[in-house]
Every structure is written in structure tokens, then in C-alpha cells.
């Protein structure tokens, strides 16, 4: 019997898949979300689970990433829902919540951006 050994060529995408965290496993959705909030992790929730999460209570704000096409309001994010583990794009779209302490490090604040723009306009800056 002859055995053929073929060398596997790992792609970057293979490595990426192997390092992906599976998310919630033996927890209930609520306890997993509590674990994440305790660690100030970013939380992604689908349209159904989102209404059960009170971001203010845990010191969270919605992640804002501008959308130059205008198709979303900037508060849309997708991926695997941290509560139900379903893909958020299949359940009404997702929303990401970032802990307040990290918010300005990772998210644009639309209110601040608007305030700065108005200030520049008042000062007549053209850059």
C-alpha cells in the first residue's frame, strides 16, 4: 500500500479561521454578556437581542463608523451576535456597543465631529 502525503499549504485565511474565537459556549446569553461587560469588551448584538441590553446601565455606547454611501446611519455593525450566536445580518442587522472608557479610542463621536466642523466654519478656516 502506498501512502501519498500532500503538504498542506496554509493560507492566511486558514490561519485567520483557526484563531477566531467561538464566542458563547457553555454560558447562557446573559451570563456571557455579563462576562464581556465585566471585561469592558465590545459587544455585538442582533436586532432581536439588542432590545434586551441596556447600554447605559453598563457604561456602553454604540460604535459609530461613518458610511460615505449613506446606506446606514453609521451605527450599523455585523458579525456573530454575542447573545444568540446567529449572524446579525440574518436578524435585522447588528449594533456594536463599546465601553465608555474605550469609546474615543476606537469610535468617531458624531456630536463632537459636528461641533468641530461648526467651530471651523465660524472661524472661516478653509482646510
Partner 1 sequence: MIGAYHLYGGGPLLKKFKVGESITPAGQFVEYDTNNAAGVSEQAAATALVFVYGLAVDTAVYSTTQGDAEGLVTVSIRPDLVAKALASGSATNGVALTTLSNTSASAGGTVVTDADVGTTDMDGGTIWCISGNNVGHSRVITTHSSGASMTVTVPFPRAVAVGDEFLFIPWATIGDGTAGEDGNSNVQTTTSRDQADASIASGTGGEVAVVDLELNGAGDTYVLFVVSDNIFGPGIQTV
Among residues 19, 26, 56, 122, the one that binds partner 1 under rule CB under 8 A:
19
Of residues 90-109, which lie at the interface with partner 1 (CB under 8 A)?
A: 96, 98-99, 102, 104-108
Q: Which long-range contacts (C-beta less than 8 Å, at least 24 apart) are formed by 26-34?
A: 29/82, 29/83, 29/84, 30/83, 32/82, 32/83, 33/82, 33/83
Among residues 20, 51, 111, 122, the one that binds partner 1 under rule CB under 8 A:
20
Cβ 3 to partner 1, closest distance in Å?
24
46 beta partners: 94
Q: For residue 30, count other CB atoms closer than 10 A to its CB.
A: 11
* Residues contributing to the site for partner 1 (CB under 8 A): 9-13, 15-16, 19-21, 23, 35, 39-42, 44, 63, 65-72, 74-80, 96, 98-99, 102, 104-108, 120, 124-127
Amino acid at each position: 500500500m502506498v501512502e501519498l502525503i500532500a503538504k498542506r499549504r496554509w493560507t492566511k485565511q486558514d490561519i485567520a479561521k483557526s484563531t477566531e474565537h467561538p464566542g458563547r459556549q457553555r454560558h447562557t446569553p446573559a451570563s456571557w454578556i455579563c462576562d464581556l461587560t465585566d471585561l469592558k469588551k465590545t459587544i455585538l448584538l442582533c436586532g432581536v437581542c439588542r432590545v434586551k441590553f441596556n447600554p447605559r446601565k453598563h457604561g456602553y455606547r454604540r460604535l459609530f463608523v461613518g458610511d460615505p454611501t449613506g446606506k446606514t446611519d453609521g451605527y450599523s455593525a455585523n458579525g456573530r451576535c454575542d447573545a444568540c450566536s446567529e449572524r446579525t445580518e440574518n436578524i435585522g442587522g447588528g449594533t456594536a456597543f463599546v465601553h465608555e472608557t474605550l469609546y474615543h479610542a476606537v469610535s468617531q463621536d458624531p456630536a463632537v465631529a459636528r461641533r468641530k466642523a461648526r467651530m471651523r466654519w465660524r472661524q472661516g478656516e478653509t482646510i
